[in-house]
């Protein structure tokens, strides 16, 4: 989680600052403007404009562990994992952010009768770009936009996005073993980074 936070945090530059910046080096100025604490130094204007907004989306849904017509629990689960993996790039293109971090957790639910899926997503958005309304409306959870993403907000958002699914620790043991084996067979990656979160030159 620390590596994810450092990379995402570094992707958010200091806000536009119109006063004379020659008294600060870049690192110091960024710390002053992004730390989220009250700034008493008169040289730093509070009427700054953040160059990017941060959007956090959490979406939860459930699927039967053995859907009707499925050959086996393992096969049904691998189809679900394949679908999630295949849809990620198209989803990012639809949102069209400057950067994206997608993290999906899966855990046993309802005494092993269902899978609980949770998409936790962080987007770096231009101030004038709108998050797709249809995606927001279909979200079972929350969509939050921060127009002043300070370091504290970024850190807390990454912590929420990367939280460990408790169902893997306390859920149905047999389902947990099946899930972990399927993830390994399919080589499923729980998280993916896109655009500037992956390539600084994007």
DSSP per position, 70-83: -S-HHHHHHHHHHH
Write down the pTM of the prediction: 0.85
- Looking at residue 69, what is its pLDDT? 86
Q: Which burial class, exposed, middle or buried, applies to 147 when counting CB atoms under 10 A from its CB (0-12, 13-18, 19+)?
A: exposed
pLDDT, tens digit (0-9, with 9 covering 90-100), for 45-77: 444 578 899 999 999 999 999 998 889 999 999
Q: What is the pLDDT of residues 2-49, one digit of tens each?
A: 888 888 988 988 776 554 444 444 455 555 556 665 455 444 444 457
- As a whole number of angstroms, the distance between CA 191 and CA 202 comes to 19
Tens digit of each residue's pLDDT (9 = 90 or more) over 70-124: 899 999 999 999 999 999 999 999 999 999 999 999 999 999 999 999 999 999 9
């Amino acid at each position: 989680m620390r590596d994810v936070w450092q990379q995402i945090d570094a992707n958010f530059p200091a806000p536009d600052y119109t006063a004379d910046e020659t008294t600060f080096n870049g690192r110091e100025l960024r710390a002053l403007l992004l730390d989220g604490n009250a700034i008493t130094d008169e040289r730093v204007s509070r009427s700054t404009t953040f160059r990017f907004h941060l959007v956090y989306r959490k979406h939860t849904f459930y699927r039967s562990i053995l859907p009707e017509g499925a050959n086996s629990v393992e096969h049904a689960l691998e189809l679900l994992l394949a679908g999630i993996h295949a849809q990620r790039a198209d989803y990012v293109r639809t949102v069209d952010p400057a950067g994206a971090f997608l993290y999906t957790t899966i855990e046993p639910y309802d005494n092993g009768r269902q899978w609980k899926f949770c998409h936790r997503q962080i987007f770096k958005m231009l101030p004038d770009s709108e998050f797709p309304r249809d995606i927001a409306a279909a979200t079972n959870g929350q969509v939050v936009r921060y127009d002043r993403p300070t370091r504290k907000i970024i850190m807390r958002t990454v912590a929420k996005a990367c939280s460990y699914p408790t169902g893997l620790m306390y859920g149905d043991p047999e389902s947990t073993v099946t899930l972990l084996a399927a993830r390994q067979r399919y080589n499923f990656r729980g998280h993916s980074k896109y655009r500037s979160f992956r390539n600084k030159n994007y």
